[in-house]
A and B are shown apart, each in its own frame.
Chain A
């Protein structure tokens, strides 16, 4: 199983998942949670099967690749046996599912000493910091801007915020990153302070990727917050609150914003899916040793156990994020409850 499962991280993660499930059961009822978990099983079988079939029919032989110049018949047979590649495809897939029940993801095709868990443990931290940092920054900047744009709808402020949001929304990060690189190269050549254009680990290498990544998603929150707030601001209860003479700031944040939260929470799941895709490109162009870079490397090297591992990781994350969203609904709007 490898060292990833032996540290404190998996214990914390496990407790977090357990807490999430308990909370979900309390808020949404056991039937809802069970339905979601059944859905998760279905999704995992689906995505792993698609990945498996593609890997199985892909050209190339993992064992040959791994052995390279050190090919001998014995070593070849040994490794084929080790990975179970001598079995028929359905047997291979069933074995994979059986091992999955024990949280065993198997071993890398490139290096048989590395379990998939080890590899995930090695590359997930950078991606997690980048992804979570980017989303948090995007929410912190995007949501207030969206509220301001809605409150000042159809003014110059609104127009500017919307314009910037639309441009950043449309431009993929691989358009922004080369431009950023150009600016940094120029700054550097002028002897001015500049940020690193590649690498990961120290603060000055982390700023640019996180900011650029969050720039690509913050517009999503701006637009969503604005439209959601506009809808709420037209409601009768907002007019009532104003009529009672409540301070405008209170009206906006207490009465309107809380009601505008629901569509925003709904966006958490999709934003996460988008975050994953965005992270791929940002990681690649900034040379960040994250899960995106590793997944692409694994796919091009036909290291399918690792690909399976990342695919499962993504699927599980997304399903649990959706569960979290559903719980958050209940807090934002107490009317939403199960039978």
Chain B
């Protein structure tokens, strides 16, 4: 093997770290793996590596605060609306403009109160209303729900597909490996967002016909999932390749372990750290990508709500009611920052190179 060969590997590895969300420093390396046993502190030796990692993570203040904030934001977004629907004074409005309507009606994220456009915060509308007289707080909660649901679906897709194809490609090589390499090359030259934009614009109407209003969400999730998994698969493949050369795998084979047993018992459990770290960092990318798609008018459509859609709507109202754009921006910033702090913390805690 020549040096050039190594350098090819290196540039292939670099391709895996596509986009802003992978930092090569965070990707556990072969060297890290080798030193895992040596580096564990004596007190950690008595515990399983998982417990040690969790302890390290629990000691990371920034990550823990972020995690708590995520739990709070998500909790408010999913449980909040149930309570919020019953809080608020009766106001005069409605379709006839003279009805007495309660919070059950005007705290619905799609309800338009046409006499109350672009209002500042008030008792009825804690964060004010948008340019169509919809309650901003209700829409924020609905928007966060969308972000979280899409993230959950895409990450599941990402992990399952990345893990299965990455492991098989790394372990067996052959056509699966070739397919993965070619497909990643293709997706690398096809910026993720461009593909998702294309899919959302061309297939959107068909999905809405078939699956109703939520068809668009499904499509966005599918498009993002389809483009994101090759990165994960490349990570997993690289790690599988190096695990395959480890002595304990050789030992397992020599005592008659089948391929299946070796993969399930010795390879997959050792992929946990790398998959967890990559998946957490992917979440940041997914939230951003969904918001970007909606911002471009290709993701969630009105009357549905999404943080990206809210930013795009509100940026036209900056001169009229400037707080409108502030809320979705702050919530999105909080979500994205918290997820990346948690991702950073997970990367540190589960990377065997980091010591206490």
Contact = CB atoms under 8 A, between A and B. Distances in A.
Contact of A339 (B4, B14, B23, B190): B4
Interface string B331-352: 0110011011100100000000
A164 interface: no
Contact of A47 (B11, B190, B336): B190
Interface stretch (A13-21, A50-58, A62-70, A240-248): A50-58
A29 to B, nearest CB: 8
A263 B333 contact: no
Interface string A294-329: 011001101000010001001100110010011001
Given A43-B185, A277-B192, A336 B3 contact: yes
A188 to B, nearest CB: 10
A170 B283 CA distance: 11
A120 interface: no
Interface stretch (B76-84, B196-204, B267-275): B196-204
Contact of B14 (A269, A277, A285, A314): A269
B25 interface: yes
A237 interface: no
Interface string B78-113: 000000000000000000000000000000000000
A42 B25 contact: no
B317 to A, nearest CB: 11
Interface string A234-277: 00000000000000000000000000001100110110011011
Given A220-B20, A227-B24, A281 B292 contact: yes
A185 B324 CA distance: 14
A318 B11 CA distance: 14
A192 to B, nearest CB: 16
A98 interface: no
A196 to B, nearest CB: 14
A175 B191 CA distance: 21
Interface in A150-178: 166-167, 169-172, 174-175, 177-178
Interface in B258-305: 284, 288, 291-292, 295-298
A179 B323 CA distance: 10
Contacts of B201: 58, 299-300, 302
Contacts, number: 181
Contacts of A276: 191, 194
A282 to B, nearest CB: 11
Given A42-B185, A182-B326, A273 B14 contact: no
A309 to B, nearest CB: 13
A73 interface: no
A4 interface: no
B295 A223 contact: no
Contacts of A220: 20, 23
Contacts of A144: none
B197 A296 contact: yes
Contacts of B185: 39, 42-43
B10 A281 contact: no
B95 to A, nearest CB: 32
A47 B186 CA distance: 7
A51 B191 CA distance: 13
A3 to B, nearest CB: 26
Nearest to A339: B2
Interface of A is mostly: helix
Contacts of A295: 194, 197
Given A42-B185, A273-B18, A285-B315, A175 B25 contact: no
B253 interface: no
Interface residues of A, number: 69
A224 B198 contact: no
Interface in A272-295: 273-274, 276-277, 280-281, 284-285, 295
A338 interface: yes
* Most central of A43, A175, A182 by chain B CB within 10 Å: A175
Nearest to A312: B189
A335 interface: yes
B311 interface: yes
Contacts of A273: 18-19, 188, 191
Contacts of A228: 25
Contacts of B19: 270, 273-274, 277
B219 to A, nearest CB: 12
A46 interface: yes
Given A43-B186, A224-B25, A266-B10, A178 B202 contact: no
Given A175-B332, A299-B201, A315 B190 contact: yes
A181 interface: yes
A6 B29 CA distance: 50
B120 to A, nearest CB: 15
Given A171-B336, A284-B296, A178 B325 contact: yes
Contacts of A314: 189-191, 194
Given A50-B198, A177-B315, A182-B322, 15 more contacts: A43-B185, A43-B186, A47-B190, A59-B206, A166-B344, A170-B337, A171-B333, A266-B10, A277-B193, A280-B193, A300-B297, A318-B189, A336-B3, A336-B7, A339-B4
Interface of A: 32, 39, 42-43, 46-47, 50-51, 54-55, 57-59, 166-167, 169-172, 174-175, 177-179, 181-182, 185, 216-217, 220, 223-224, 226-228, 262-263, 266-267, 269-270, 273-274, 276-277, 280-281, 284-285, 295-296, 299-300, 302, 307, 311, 314-315, 318-319, 322, 325-326, 329, 335-339
20 contacts: A42-B186, A43-B186, A46-B182, A46-B186, A51-B198, A57-B203, A58-B201, A58-B203, A166-B341, A175-B332, A182-B318, A182-B322, A182-B326, A276-B191, A280-B193, A280-B197, A299-B197, A300-B298, A336-B3, A336-B4
Interface of B: 2-4, 7, 10-11, 14-15, 17-20, 22-25, 182, 185-186, 188-195, 197-199, 201-203, 205-206, 284, 288, 291-292, 295-298, 308, 311, 314-315, 318-319, 322, 325-326, 329, 332-333, 336-337, 339-341, 344
4 nearest A-B pairs in the assembled complex, by CB-CB distance: A227-B25, A58-B202, A266-B14, A170-B340
